[in-house]
């Protein structure tokens, strides 16, 4: 279960995006406010709306209630409502988080919040809301699954939101392999923090899709400017790859090759420790994050004269 403050933050953010639903969710807000005086976790359920490329919706079969969205109550060790929804998918349909990815429309925010039976019940363990998260298929699952047309999704409030999802997995993160005409590569020394990817390693600059980004190129141009004030002289897509996030989800990443000739010591670095140029031979001697070495070596080979 999750605490009242975290759930109130999720609800408030949701209502900013869907202000017309304030009346529908008023009882949920009241229940959260009533829980202000108790330190006990607030009961909710967390469900998954998984959309395939044919725009069908994944359902879990149940002999007692028939097909329904995969969903579950949280466990103490789960770090977020989204993690609970992913567990429900794995346990009830056999699809692993690595076969799923986030949607660009909703990212880690719920696509829908529905009042639960707890808003009209005196039972302290009755869920007050169902938090529903949207996912696309990153890979075709090997397990047998039950899919239904989006038009069959109930209730109507959720169906209207699902119709805007096309089921097409797309790169949500972008990184830049920055090089200069001397054949050097600009790498970023990341902070030594346990809550980030590749702490204390040299890696590429880049980041995650944000709602205002329309393409991966928008993402990388924004990230380069925000993180280091870099505007490349030339930018082109190099390749796409996949990584896993902390929840085990697949994260499609577009790697761009970016030509830039500046002095990293003059940059207004806002994240990490430092930026520095390295020739490919020196890169092999660094502590690197992820597939950084392979990317540098692949690009260096392509840049070699024939």
- The tens-digit pLDDT sequence of the chain (306 residues) is 688 899 999 999 999 999 999 999 999 999 999 888 777 889 999 999 999 999 999 998 765 556 789 999 999 889 899 999 999 999 999 999 999 999 999 999 999 999 999 988 877 789 999 999 999 999 998 887 889 888 877 777 788 899 889 999 999 999 999 999 999 999 999 999 877 778 899 999 999 999 889 999 999 999 999 999 999 999 999 999 998 888 999 999 999 999 999 999 999 999 999 999 999 999 999 999 889 999 999 999 998 765
**Half-sphere exposure (CA, 13 Å, Cβ side) for 12?**
8
> In whole angstroms, what is the distance from residue 158 CA to residue 153 CA?
7
Distance CA 186, CA 292 (A): 11
Q: Which two tokens stand for residue 49?
A: 């709306």
Cite the DSSP H helix spans in the chain: 4-17, 26-34, 81-93, 156-162, 216-228, 280-283, 292-303
Report the CATH number that the domain containing residue 278 is assigned in CATH. Answer: 3.90.79.10
Query: Roughly what angle, to the nearest 10 degrees, separates helices 4-17 and 26-34?
Result: 160
Distance CA 208, CA 34 (A): 36
User: Domain limits at 24?
Assistant: 4-162
Question: CB neighbours of 294 closer than 8 A, spacing ≥ 6?
Answer: none
* C-alpha to C-alpha distance for 116 and 27, rounded to whole angstroms: 9
pTM of the prediction? 0.88
Structure tokens at 250: 């697949």
Same domain for 118 and 142, yes or no, is yes
> Is the backbone peptide bond immediately before 80 cis, with ω within 30 degrees of 0?
no
Domain boundary among 101, 136, 162: 162
Rounded Cα distance, 289 and 301, in Å: 20
The neighbour count for residue 238, using CB atoms within 10 Å, is 18
Tally of domains in the chain: 2
Which helix H or strand E contains 146, and what residues bound it?
strand 146-149
Are residues 122 and 195 part of one domain? no
Has residue 167 been placed in a domain?
no
Residue 306, pLDDT score = 52
What is the distance between the alpha carbons of residues 134 and 82, in angstroms, rounded to a whole number? 9
DSSP symbol at 202: E
Q: Which residues contact 94 (CB under 8 A, 6 or more apart)?
A: 141, 143, 144, 145
Same domain, 125 and 32: yes
Sign, CA dihedral 96-92-162-19, equals: negative
Residue 34 belongs to a domain: yes
Residues 147 and 239 placed together within one structural domain of the fold: no
């Amino acid at each position: 279960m999750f605490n009242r403050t975290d759930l109130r933050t999720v609800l408030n953010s949701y209502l900013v995006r869907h202000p017309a639903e304030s009346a529908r969710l008023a009882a949920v807000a009241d229940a959260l406010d009533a829980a202000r005086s108790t330190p006990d976790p607030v009961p909710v359920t967390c469900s998954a709306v998984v959309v395939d490329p044919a725009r069908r919706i994944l359902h879990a079969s149940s002999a007692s209630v028939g097909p329904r969205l995969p969903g579950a109550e949280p466990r103490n060790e789960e770090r977020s409502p989204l993690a609970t929804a992913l567990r429900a998918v794995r346990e009830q349909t056999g699809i692993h988080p690595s076969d799923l990815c986030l949607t660009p429309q909703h990212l880690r925010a719920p696509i829908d919040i529905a009042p639960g039976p707890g808003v009209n019940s005196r039972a302290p363990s009755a869920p007050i809301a169902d938090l529903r998260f949207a996912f696309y298929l990153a890979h075709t699952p090997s397990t047998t699954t039950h899919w239904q047309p989006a038009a069959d999704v109930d209730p109507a409030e959720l169906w209207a939101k699902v119709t805007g999802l096309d089921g097409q997995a797309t790169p949500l993160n972008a990184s830049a392999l920055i090089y200069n005409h001397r054949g050097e590569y600009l790498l970023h020394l990341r902070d030594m923090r346990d809550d980030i990817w590749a702490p204390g390693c040299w890696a590429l600059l880049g980041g995650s899709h944000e709602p205002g980004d329309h393409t991966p190129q928008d993402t990388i141009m924004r990230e380069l400017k925000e993180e280091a004030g870099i505007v490349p002289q030339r930018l082109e897509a190099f390749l796409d790859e996949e990584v896993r996030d902390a929840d085990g989800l697949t994260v499609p990443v577009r790697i761009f090759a970016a030509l830039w000739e500046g002095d990293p010591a003059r940059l207004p670095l806002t994240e990490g420790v430092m930026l520095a140029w390295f020739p490919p031979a020196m890169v092999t001697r660094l502590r690197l994050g992820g597939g950084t070495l392979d990317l540098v070596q692949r690009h260096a080979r392509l840049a070699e004269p024939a």
